[in-house]
Amino acid sequence: MNVLKSMIRHPAVLLWSLVYGIAGGVFFKAISVYEYWLESNRVQIMQWKRYPNRNYRQFTTSMLMGRLGFESWSTLPLTYSQITNKFDRAPYPYLIILCNTLIALVYLPVALLAGVVEGPAFVYQKAQGNA
């Protein structure tokens, strides 16, 4: 009797896991990518706001290394002075936010495909466990 009951119920559970699992998997994976993107950008903005001196030092040091290149180290103080006179604070992290956005957009199709695969399996396991 139990075997007959499971044979009748199995196609319905399989259909439910496919329909609900694909929709849920895609939805929750998209939400996951969005939350990752939002949190990574929020961290960059908060660091830029909270630690302006550290960001300024990092920015000026990277500018100094870019300008100095293979020049003599004797020009280091003059070059650093020129950089600090030209830039009074670290710029807003546009490039980092743009890179985070591009990474999230590249990862989104992969996550959606993973949701299509993992969603039905998750729903099917939960439906079989409750049987």
Instruction: List pLDDT tens digits, range 35-94.
Output: 999 999 999 888 888 777 777 778 788 777 777 776 677 777 777 777 777 777 777 888
Q: What is the mean pLDDT of the chain?
A: 83
**pTM of the predicted model, to two decimals?**
0.67
For residues 10 and 85, what is the distance between their CA atoms, to the nearest angstrom?
A: 73
Is there a single domain that holds both residue 98 and residue 127? yes
Is there a single domain that holds both residue 99 and residue 128? yes
For residues 74 and 54, what is the distance between their CA atoms, to the nearest angstrom?
A: 25
Is there a single domain that holds both residue 84 and residue 111? no
- Does residue 77 fall inside a structural domain? yes
The alpha-helical segments, DSSP class H, found in 1-131 are 2-50, 52-68, 76-86, 94-129
Percent of the chain whose predicted confidence (pLDDT) is above 90: 33
How many structural domains comprise the chain?
Answer: 2
Residue 123 burial class via C-beta count within 10 angstroms: exposed 0-12, middle 13-18, buried 19 and up: buried
Is there a single domain that holds both residue 119 and residue 130? yes
For residues 73 and 90, what is the distance between their CA atoms, to the nearest angstrom?
A: 24
Q: Which domain holds residue 59?
A: 53-91
Is there a single domain that holds both residue 76 and residue 99? no
- Does residue 1 fall inside a structural domain? no
